[in-house]
């Protein structure tokens, strides 16, 4: 894995040379993202998601070599796991097999002792946390959103339910345009503290932005339509329903009791609103622990942290028709999406969380495998890389059973 370790000069020197400075203006741009994705809290203010050092779960090691496993993608490319890792800007890679570390490596600016941003894997973590509120009676997934957030009554969410937000089937007039600087999406990014304000711009905030989103055509619930703002709204719903900050809630209910070895972090806007759609950074081992929690039906260290019924619902109740009608069918033909997780293979109980720039938590229950990959791919979305990586993760799982 040594070939992965970049000899970058980013942020080296005090001060770094101007061409090696990573700032709020360039942190999601290649090559600056290779540094920033392991240092997000230095760029964007971030809340701490507490762990509990007394409860850290030990992870035993059972090393295995996956590098030579062949990968064959649907479009006919042939590769190996080692090549896949080396060519997809991998910063961290960890395979848990039967709960033991079979492979673990760090590259770029990442170490074991540093959190890496997971972008939309944050959505899946938030969707899982939602289950803890459902079980406690704090949240009804079938209730109208306005039950919790009357302030969004006039927005796209005014006649939608929590379930529509969980499953990305809100009919909303919003496009996920990662690279268009004039778009609503950039206004959203500025509202979340992720981009610098425009000259003379009055700073916005995430919650006000969400309350102003416009209704799209058609019925809610019919079509999978991936928009990050839905997942930020879910975070807001959880905060209101549990009367606690998202960071504290996730820390108390999952991060601490599951045995995380580090606090995680989440970026916040200027009023403290957490970017639950994409702002979580976490240690590689803790992401693996979280994946293992999902594999183990929501139990860790002998305690049921997330209701098994909630995870079972994720695995079995995804709407394949809504997925097929949606805009990401090519990524996972015949699959579905439920409570912020992608269901890949019903028979193997194989599912995953995915974030832009190459973030993955992949779970395959048949082979008792959890794989985490964090990366700093140059483009937010790179379909060829996605296909290669997913084929690689599936090949590892297949090799393990």
Binding of its own copies at residue 262 (CB under 8 A)? yes
Shortest spacing between CB 245 and its own copies, in angstroms: 8
Out of 38, 46, 79, 120, pick the active-site residue: 120
Question: Residues 233-252: x/- map of binding to its own copies (CB under 8 A)?
Answer: ---x--xx----x-----x-
Which of residues 3, 7, 15, 302 is near its own copies by CB under 8 A? 15
d(CA 120, CA 73): 24
- State which of positions 171-230 bind its own copies (CB under 8 A): 205, 207
Contact segment (CB under 8 A) with its own copies among 269-277, 298-306, 337-345, 369-377 equals 269-277
String marking each residue 55-94 x if it binds its own copies according to CB under 8 A: -x--------------------------------------
Token pair, residue 257, equals: 């009791």
Instruction: Please tell me whether residue 287 binds its own copies under the rule CB under 8 A.
Output: no
| CB nearer its own copies, residue 145 or residue 388 | 145
CB of 11 or CB of 168, closer to its own copies: 11
Give the separation between CA 92 and CA 112, rounded to whole angstroms.
9
What length does the chain have? 401
Residue 92 CB neighbours (<10 A): 27
Q: 292 CB contacts (<8 Å, ≥6 apart)?
A: 96, 99, 300, 370
By the rule CB under 8 A, 8 interacts with its own copies: no
- Closer residue to its own copies, CB minimum distance, 241 or 352: 241
- The angle, 0 to 180 degrees and rounded to 10, between the axes of the packed helices 308-316 and 121-135 is 130
The residue among 357, 340, 368 whose CA lies nearest residue 227 is 340
280-282 and 116-117: which strand pairing? antiparallel
State the Cα torsion 94-291-113-109 to the nearest 10°: 60
* Smaller CB separation from its own copies, 27 or 331: 27
| 116-117 and 336-338 strand pairing | unpaired
Q: Which residues sit at the interface with its own copies, rule CB under 8 A?
A: 11, 14-16, 21-24, 39, 41-48, 50-53, 56, 111, 113-115, 205, 207, 236, 239-240, 245, 251, 256, 261-263, 265, 268, 270-273
Q: Which residues are catalytic?
A: 120
């Amino acid at each position: 894995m040594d070939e992965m370790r970049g000899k970058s000069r980013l942020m080296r020197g005090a001060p770094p040379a101007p061409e090696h400075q990573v700032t709020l203006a360039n942190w999601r741009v290649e090559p600056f993202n290779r540094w920033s994705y392991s240092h997000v809290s230095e760029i964007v203010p971030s809340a701490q998601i507490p762990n509990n050092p007394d409860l850290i779960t030990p992870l035993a090691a059972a090393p295995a070599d996956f590098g030579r496993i062949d990968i064959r993608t649907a479009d006919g490319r042939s590769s190996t796991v080692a090549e896949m890792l080396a060519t997809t800007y991998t910063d961290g890679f960890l395979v848990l097999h039967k709960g033991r570390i079979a492979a673990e490596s760090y590259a770029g600016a990442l170490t074991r002792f540093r959190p890496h941003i997971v972008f939309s894997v944050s959505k899946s973590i938030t969707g899982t946390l939602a289950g803890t509120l459902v079980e406690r009676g704090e949240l009804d997934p079938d209730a109208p959103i306005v039950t919790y957030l009357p302030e969004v009554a006039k927005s796209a969410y005014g006649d939608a339910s929590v379930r529509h937000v969980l499953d990305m089937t809100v009919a909303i007039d919003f496009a996920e345009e990662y690279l268009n600087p004039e778009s609503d999406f950039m206004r959203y990014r500025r509202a979340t503290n992720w981009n610098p304000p425009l000259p003379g711009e009055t700073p916005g905030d995430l919650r006000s932005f969400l309350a102003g989103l416009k209704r799209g055509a058609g019925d809610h619930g019919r079509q999978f339509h991936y928009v990050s703002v839905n997942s930020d709204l879910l975070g807001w719903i959880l905060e209101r329903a549990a009367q606690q900050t998202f960071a504290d809630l996730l820390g108390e209910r999952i991060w601490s009791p599951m045995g995380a070895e580090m606090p995680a972090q989440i970026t916040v806007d200027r009023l403290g609103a957490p970017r639950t759609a994409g702002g979580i950074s976490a240690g590689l081992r803790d992401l693996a622990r979280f994946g293992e929690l999902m594999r183990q039906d929501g139990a860790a260290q002998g305690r049921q942290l997330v209701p098994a019924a909630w995870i079972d619902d994720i695995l079995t109740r995804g709407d394949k028709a809504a997925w097929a009608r949606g805009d990401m069918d090519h990524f996972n033909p015949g699959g579905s999406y439920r409570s912020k997780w992608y269901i890949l293979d019903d028979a193997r109980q194989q599912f995953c969380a995915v974030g832009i720039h190459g973030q993955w938590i992949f779970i395959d229950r048949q082979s008792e495998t959890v794989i985490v990959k964090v990366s700093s791919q140059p483009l937010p979305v790179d379909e060829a890389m996605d296909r290669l990586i997913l084929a690689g993760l599936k090949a590892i799982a297949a090799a393990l059973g």
